[in-house]
Amino acid sequence: MDFFVQLLVNGLSVGFLYGISAMGFVMIFKSSSVLNFAHGELLAIGAYIFLVLATEAHLPIYGAFILTMLACFSLGFIVEKLFLRPLIGEPLIFVIMLTVGLAAMFKGLILLIWGGNLHTFPDFLPEWLTLTWGGATVQPVYTLALVAGVTFLALFGLFFKFSSQGIYMRSVADNQRAALSLGVNVKNVFALSWAIAALVAGLSGIILGIINGVNVHDLSAIGLKVFPVVILGGLDSIGGAIVGGLIIGLLETLTGGYISPSLRDVVPYIVLVVILMLKPYGLFGQVEIERV
């Protein structure tokens, strides 16, 4: 029983991290229906920027954190400006292929600069983030993750529902040409959504880096594991990403614990195929209805 509870807790915490990592991905999908295969690399870039600022430049932690967020925001902006803007109005297949190329490019670049070794952050989280809840204690990182997750969930929900930018984003995702002809500034929408997604990805990268250490192979693997998570939750649902993450995380740790550790990394993808078969739009995704 103890073993089960431990697996449960592990699974939920791993899953919550998956959920947070998936939020940036959903952000991009929701605003441009692009499947971003470079998401894992965006996570990694955020983590590495923070690593450099915090350990090599010896900046104070909060300063390093704010600078990292700014850097990620601008990075998303630059990536959009350089690579995606020329493709506005082109078929989606080009954009998705482009993200496949970007993923390879970024990964190669990170490996060339920092190598494939595991780096760790200094221990910097303040003690007061440790929550004691009955007998159980929650590590400060997880408190941070929880706070970040809930905050972003609420912010995104409000953003997409009420702000005009959010509504523009949804219109662009639905039909880019129609949105263009109705006067939506698609360029701005793309730029903003990539910038925000890179920011969220950077933050999740830092959180993942605190827990597992920073390693580009692991982080880009998580970037791909986002796919089962969002398919399960529904591609365009940010809340669904969190729920999907929790379920995938649980399944992963339970399989790792009870069946076989080597199956652990494949289970999410088996789930993915099953979901596509049974409930293709996921738990909370919007079912596409087509009328001609």
Partner 1 sequence: MRKWIFHPCGNFHERYETQLNVYETDYGRFWTAVGIVLLFTAVPLVSSHYLLYVVNSIGIAAIAAIGLNILVGYTGQISLGHGAFFGVGAYGAAYLATRWGAPLLVSVPAAGLIAAIAGLVFGLPSSRLKGLYLTIATLAGQFIIEYVLIHWESVTRGTMGITLPTAGIFGLEIAGDRAFFYLIFTLLVAMLWFAVNLLRTRYGRAFIAIRDNDRAAEGMGIAIFPYKLLAFAISSFYAGVAGAVWAYYTISITAEPFNLGLSVEYIAMVIIGGMGNMSGAVFGAVFITGLNEILRWGTDLMMNMGFVTQMGLNMAPLREFVFGLAIVLFILFEPRGLAEVWRIVRSSFRLWPFSY
Asked if 271 contacts 254 with a C-beta cutoff of 8 angstroms, the reply is: no
d(CA 127, CA 147): 15
Which of these ranges, 146-154, 165-173, 190-198, 223-231, lies near partner 1 under the rule CB under 8 A?
223-231
Residues touching partner 1: how many (CB under 8 A)?
Answer: 46
Q: Would you count residue 107 as binding partner 1 (CB under 8 A)?
A: yes
Q: Kindly tell me which of 9 and 224 has the beta carbon lying closer to partner 1.
A: 224
Residue 166 C-beta: closest distance to partner 1, Å: 22
Asked if 253 contacts 52 with a C-beta cutoff of 8 angstroms, the reply is: no
φ, ψ dihedrals at 119, nearest 5° = -110, 155
Q: Would you count residue 289 as binding partner 1 (CB under 8 A)?
A: no
Residue 219 three-state SS? helix
d(CA 161, CA 155): 10
- Residues numbered 32 to 61 that lie near partner 1 (CB under 8 A) are 33, 35, 37
| Cα 253 from chain centroid (whole Å) | 20
Q: Would you count residue 178 as binding partner 1 (CB under 8 A)?
A: no
Secondary structure element (H or E) that encloses residue 191, with its range:
helix 186-212
Q: Would you count residue 247 as binding partner 1 (CB under 8 A)?
A: no
Q: Would you count residue 89 as binding partner 1 (CB under 8 A)?
A: no
- The Cα-based distances of 28 to 12, 24, 67, 193, 194 in angstroms read 25, 7, 22, 6, 6
Asked if 88 contacts 187 with a C-beta cutoff of 8 angstroms, the reply is: yes
Among 272, 282, 284, 285, interactor with partner 1 by CB under 8 A? 272
Among 48, 106, 121, 156, interactor with partner 1 by CB under 8 A? 106
Q: Would you count residue 265 as binding partner 1 (CB under 8 A)?
A: yes
Place of tokens 């998936």: 22
- Residues numbered 108 to 147 that lie near partner 1 (CB under 8 A) are 108-109, 111-112, 115-116
Residues lying near partner 1 in the complex (CB under 8 A): 33, 35, 37, 83, 86-87, 90-94, 96-98, 100-109, 111-112, 115-116, 224, 227-228, 231, 262-263, 265-266, 269-270, 272-273, 276-277, 280, 288, 290, 292
